[in-house]
Amino acid sequence: MGAENRGAVGLVDLRRMGFAQELRSVCKCWWRAGASRRQNLYPVLLAASFEYEAKKMRWVFGLIGTLFTFSAGAAPPVCDQFQKERRLVNELYAELAYVESMQAGPGWSFRAPAMESILDAPLGSACWLVRELVVTHRTELDPMQSLLSHPVWAIRTLRYITNCGDFRTTLPEKEWPEHRRAPRWNFLLLKGKSHVPYFSTWMSRDTTMIAPVDVQRKVISQWQNWYANEAAMFKFSECEDDNKWYF
């Protein structure tokens, strides 16, 4: 046995432990081991499978699979069953693109007409809207650029159909701004460094300020987790305060 595999066995010697001890050990060493050493657990588990009953090993492999799933974080939802709602979301983006092509402000008061149709089919529409959430490296969007930003309007529409629901997160220390008086940070840090949104909008100029990438990823993950764990039982309703869903 090579030195690397001996180190893995040193992490958890499954052949010398009872089943209960085995489960506790797997949990402990999973979080304490580095990424490279975690991979070494698999050969050990495979070797131990010849010495333990199949039923017990299924529990062990199931546990490891659960830990992998948990550590991987959230993921975009699967929405193929919501084709009608996909068309509604596409209509929203088509309306916004049309307004942008006319190079004029929208003829409605903030609210795109398609958003009302989306509110009539919120669960499937929310699925597609959450899938639109991606990271952007832009820091500011002018009014016309923001009309074409799928993530920005996905969040606006999600806020609208969830009765002003929203997610914010903490700004990583490495991203703390040196020049806090810059307009971008004035708006992003409006509620402090612990409650930073994916974007914030300068009302008088309709300019969209985008948060750093780390913040974007966390907010996206929060929306994905919300959809996976809460959306099915969620009571969707209109956000009546334009300031809370738009800006």
Beta-carbon contacts of residue 114 (< 8 Å; ≥ 6 apart): 88, 89, 91, 92, 94, 95
118 and 54 share one domain = no
66 and 87 share one domain = no
Give me the sheet containing 199-202, strands edge to edge.
Answer: 140-141, 207-210, 199-202
Does residue 145 form part of some domain? yes
Beta-carbon contacts of residue 8 (< 8 Å; ≥ 6 apart): 37, 40, 41, 43, 44
How many of the other CB atoms lie within 10 Å of CB of 82? 19
The last residue of one of the domains, among 49, 72, 95, is 72
Does residue 134 form part of some domain? yes
58 and 104 share one domain = no
DSSP 175: G
pLDDT of residue 120: 96
Q: For residue 35, how far is the Cα from the chain centroid?
A: 23
Closest among 170, 168, 152 to 226, alpha carbons compared:
168
Contact assessment for residue 126 and residue 224, using Cβ atoms and an 8 Å cutoff: no
Beta-carbon contacts of residue 54 (< 8 Å; ≥ 6 apart): none
Domain housing 136: 83-246
Residue whose token pair is 């797997």: 26
Residue whose token pair is 């830990």: 67
pLDDT of residue 8: 38
Q: What's the pTM?
A: 0.70
> Residue 180, SS3?
coil
Which residues of the chain have a pLDDT value below 70?
A: 1-73, 104-109, 177-181
Does residue 201 form part of some domain? yes
The last residue of one of the domains, among 18, 38, 72, is 72
94 and 175 share one domain = yes
d(CA 115, CA 211): 25
Angle at 189 between CA 100 and CA 112, to 5 degrees: 25
119 and 87 share one domain = yes
Does residue 19 form part of some domain? yes
55 and 102 share one domain = no
Phi, psi (deg, nearest 5) at residue 199: -150, 160
Beta-carbon contacts of residue 231 (< 8 Å; ≥ 6 apart): 123, 126, 127
pLDDT of residue 102: 86
Q: Using only C-alpha atoms, what is the Rg of the chain?
A: 24
34 and 91 share one domain = no
Phi, psi (deg, nearest 5) at residue 207: -95, 130
d(CA 180, CA 184): 9
Question: Which helix (H) or strand (E) segment is 201 a member of?
Answer: strand 199-202
164 and 67 share one domain = no
d(CA 16, CA 8): 14
123 and 219 share one domain = yes
**pLDDT for 55-90, tens place per residue?**
444 444 444 443 443 334 479 999 999 999 999 999
DSSP 169: B
- Structural domains in the chain (count): 2
Does residue 33 form part of some domain? yes
